[in-house]
Structure 1
Amino acid sequence: MIYQIHNSPDQYTLPLALHLFGLNHRQEPIRRPHGMLCYQWFYCVNGRGEFIVNNQRSIISEGQGLLIYPRVSHIYQALTPDWTVHFFGFGGPLCQEVLTVLQMHETGVYHFSRPEVFIDHIRRLHELHQKKCSGKTREYSKECYAFLLDLSSCITRINPSSYVDADDLITAVIFYMEQHYGRDISLDELAGVVGLSKEYLCTLFKKTMKQTVMQYLLTIRISQARTLLIRFPEKKVQEIAKLCGFESPSYFGKKFKQETGMTPDAFRKKLG
């Protein structure tokens, strides 16, 4: 169950503010190329999941959890059908300072020496949420600070269990482009597919493939266009262009000629 917190206007004057929390949530696959706008703490109740960030993969089992900073590109998903988590999301002008002082320096996976700390605080949040009273925003803020303070004494950072192989990441990106070349695809979308930042994906792709991501996507589109021009002689060139992800027929013609040395019409006549 997920609970969104509708705070009052005075949340903006508080150092910490609770945004949402989840209790016994059966976790669905998440891919966030831009991350979240708030900080998040998770605790694994049952099952196993994986967390991928910055080309690093970690396995999360019962008794472990993860901290995710805002605007960090990431992926997490279940490895077993029963992967269940508690979590809470929070923000506020002093979040960074509080987390730094409490030795929660970065996004990552952590072991809990006392799991009951997380469980007890989540239950308190739920109890507070159920109460019908005024001034809950400040009570949420107090509980959020107490939550973080208590967590700081029972967590240990766990190093990633493995690095995601660069070839596997590039293969996944290429496969995605081959499946979706017929529509607009952004670098942000492709980065989200593999849980990397846009900048890191571009660097990794160029290093591995010796060309940019967009150059490779153009190659896929032109290759598909060559096939479709011959396979469907009844379709107009502008139809083929649109099927291959080109909104502008003139741009399609220009790029097609650059790649093949002839216009789409000339290609069709020669090989049709």
Structure 2
Amino acid sequence: MRRVVPASPAELLPLQLETIGIKYDQENIDRPNGYPYYHWLQTLQGEGELSTHGRTWRMTERTGVLLSPGTPHRYEARLGQWQTGFITFHGSSAASIVQALGFGDAEWLQWETDKPIITDQLESLLSFAEAGGDPSGWRYSGDLYRFLTLLRTDARTDNRPAMSKRLERIQALLDWLEEHFGNPDIGLSEMAVHLGIGERQLNERFRELFGQTAYAYLIRLRIRKAKVWLPSLPDWTVRRIGEAVGFRDASHFVATFRRLEGMTPEAYRKLYGEARDAETSGI
């Protein structure tokens, strides 16, 4: 077995590593009161079985379960020897981060055969912990966040493809919008036709990935481009920039910019203009 309990810093970090390790022959575990911290368990080789809240999951290779603190559970090997990797963690922002990533009290995840990145990240973090290279804990905190985001993007739940796979399905449309966002005639129907799916299905995909409709994504893309051009093209009027990024009239552009950014395009430009002036004068 490889197991590391890193030093605990005096201050509670946003994410704090409690233990990390690999068990080459996982024993049976029964925790009716759960574990006191967040607990990630994944299969490296062999097969196990994990039960919680009346559900039982097969723990085959490239699967894992993330359990919240205090979640009752038990797990045991199936079909011989079971090799597992584990991470336990807590932290001042742990609950809010796990919730923001969309994970519940007990989340079963699975990833693709050709995507060992999650296992690679666990083994990399374990090797770093064994070397004792982070007495402050801040490197662990950052690495834990990257690990959790990998679970969110490269693993799948509820038989849905991983986020990375779902992004691949609409990447052609995203690339097309990056080139044609300035065309004011682009709407939901044109985007759906470009991807070869219905408008309703298109919006469902965008809501799953970005939390907004496809047209709302386009509007934010246009505003993002305007934020690049407003400071960098000082000779262009606000009207000209609004038209260049796809708005038919200046009033609509100004109103949309104010709604999304909390200030007018001119105020945004002035903010960055003042910053350039201060930099030039050495302030």
Shorter-normalised TM-score: what interval?
Answer: 0.5 to 0.7
Partner of 1:32: 31
Q: 1:156 to 1:48 in 2, by over 3 A?
A: same
| CA distance in structure 1 between the partners assigned to 2:75 and 2:134 by the alignment | 36
% identical aligned pairs: 25
| CA distance in structure 2 between the partners assigned to 1:57 and 1:126 by the alignment | 28
Q: Contact conserved, 1:24 with 1:45, CA < 8 A, in 2?
A: no
Partner of 2:119: 119
Look up the equivalent residue of 2:51 and give its one-letter code.
I
Partner of 1:65: 64
Partner of 1:150: 150
SS in 1 for 2:138: helix
Task: Tell me by how many angstroms 1:134 deviates.
Answer: 5.4
Q: Does 1:10 align with 2:23?
A: no
| CA distance in structure 2 between the partners assigned to 1:55 and 1:126 by the alignment | 32
| CA distance in structure 1 between the partners assigned to 2:134 and 2:77 by the alignment | 38
| CA distance in structure 2 between the partners assigned to 1:156 and 1:110 by the alignment | 5
Look up the equivalent residue of 2:24 and give its one-letter code.
H
Task: Tell me by how many angstroms 1:105 deviates.
Answer: 2.3
SS in 1 for 2:6: coil
| CA distance in structure 1 between the partners assigned to 2:75 and 2:56 by the alignment | 9
Where does the alignment leave 5 or more consecutive residues of structure 1 unmatched?
A: 160-272
| CA distance in structure 2 between the partners assigned to 1:137 and 1:33 by the alignment | 30
| CA distance in structure 2 between the partners assigned to 1:127 and 1:57 by the alignment | 31
Task: Tell me by how many angstroms 1:106 deviates.
Answer: 2.8
Q: 1:11 to 1:77 in 2, by over 3 A?
A: farther
Q: Contact conserved, 1:23 with 1:122, CA < 8 A, in 2?
A: no
Q: Contact conserved, 1:11 with 1:137, CA < 8 A, in 2?
A: no
Q: Contact conserved, 1:43 with 1:66, CA < 8 A, in 2?
A: yes
Task: Tell me by how many angstroms 1:20 deviates.
Answer: 0.6
Partner of 1:81: 80
Where does the alignment leave 5 or more consecutive residues of structure 2 unmatched?
A: 160-283
| CA distance in structure 2 between the partners assigned to 1:27 and 1:88 by the alignment | 14
Q: Does 1:22 align with 2:14?
A: no
Task: Tell me by how many angstroms 1:157 deviates.
Answer: 1.9
Q: 1:90 to 1:146 in 2, by over 3 A?
A: same
For normalisation by structure 1, the TM-score amounts to 0.54
For normalisation by structure 2, the TM-score amounts to 0.52
SS in 2 for 1:47: strand
Offset from partner CA, 1:187-236 (integer Å, 9 cap, x none): xxxxxxxxxxxxxxxxxxxxxxxxxxxxxxxxxxxxxxxxxxxxxxxxxx
SS in 1 for 2:99: helix
| CA distance in structure 1 between the partners assigned to 2:133 and 2:33 by the alignment | 36
| CA distance in structure 2 between the partners assigned to 1:18 and 1:134 by the alignment | 11
Q: How large is the Cα RMSD of the aligned pairs?
A: 2.0
Alignment of 1:1-272 (within 5 A): 1-12=1-12, 14-113=13-112, 115-133=115-133, 135-158=135-158
| CA distance in structure 2 between the partners assigned to 1:149 and 1:16 by the alignment | 13
Q: Contact conserved, 2:6 with 2:129, CA < 8 A, in 1?
A: no
| CA distance in structure 2 between the partners assigned to 1:81 and 1:47 by the alignment | 7
Task: Tell me by how many angstroms 1:69 deviates.
Answer: 1.0
Of the two structures, which has the highest relative contact order with CA contacts closer than 8 Å and spacing of 6 or more? Answer: 1
Q: How many pairs are equivalent?
A: 158
